[in-house]
Structure 1
């Protein structure tokens, strides 16, 4: 007896020059892994239908947008190819592909840097130190870049971190804020409003236009957070490159 895959893929039109490959309508972990695997497959071996034309492969949390050159691409042929690749993707494995790179990012948790850490810890039924330890021990990935230039959505935290968003928007949190909700972490590259809970602050700026690499984080990168003091983050913030002490390892 054949078991159906836990998710299905849809290939949908997106404007005149795009096709959206969607694996779920909700932030399902298997769909997130499928979107990342599908995007990685396209990037490693672009379909022949895209050869010779300008193409864009833009992953989101549970979908991938493929934009193509209208004059050089057969839409129907490309759609058929994407359906084939997406169909193979949902057959599994449906876990994140092995990362090519890993970042270690210092963060000051709690206190003035993360005033809602205590609230998060109470919701989890653990102490603040235990909550920080879980964040720092989690095998996290950049799920997608979005909302603002260079801004990463990072996950997934353990299932009990499926915490709701706040009932009201916080008008502004500072650049470097580390916020949590729905098993994910966002690290803001600039001051921003948020409905997520603020648990820490990093000195890393995820988008600096005049830096040699303006947006250093990439989808699929592994992320490890390392606990730092508020004074250490203040000193790292003064560094000219605005990398905030983040360290990169190339794994393969």
Structure 2
């Protein structure tokens, strides 16, 4: 059950997966796929620049804005050892302020409670009667990237992460449009639906070829609620020396309802 605590945090801060390292074979396949039918921006054609600006502005405009968010998420996790784990996570968010997670163990009882703020991470382990109190920088140490509260929030809400305006090429087909940008940390391939600009796929390749970090994020099964298009299915696939898969099915979700964030540390719990 201690293993599930790590899975919980990993599933809810999906970018942690990007700290893994890709194998040479997978990296080669990725490179071939990304360069197909790409239109470079270096020619500075006015129509290309205007088109990219239109797509970029629409993606930004489509970002989900909210005050509060709540959801029940079924999380399936498979690590490099081939073992599968699953659990239910109940998530509540107050925008830019609090991220609250309650984890149910296999038999349905509360196992972990997590509270993340812009400067802290607290984890109550009800199974071992322990509590961990950490700074938000501890997530950055685990993920080896400058993760912020806003990044975690966007991951759960379904907004793009590590979005960079330094776009050097794009590609499109009958169903999708992709922008390829080069940021400080990542080369980012972001793919949206051609009709409604909903996120379909995001791939992050580390610009450091020695580290060769790569993560895939897939978005699907959109539902329309309270004027918001929301992806109820997410999948993260990461390959290092082994493969990591995380699937998240949002069984229930709601926006802008009144929420509470109960988090009381029992006096007899031991601090780790």
- Indicate the TM-score class for this superposition, using the shorter chain for normalisation: under 0.3
TM-score, normalised relative to structure 1: 0.23
> More relative contact order in 1 or in 2 (CA 8 Å, sep 6+)?
2
Higher strand share: 2
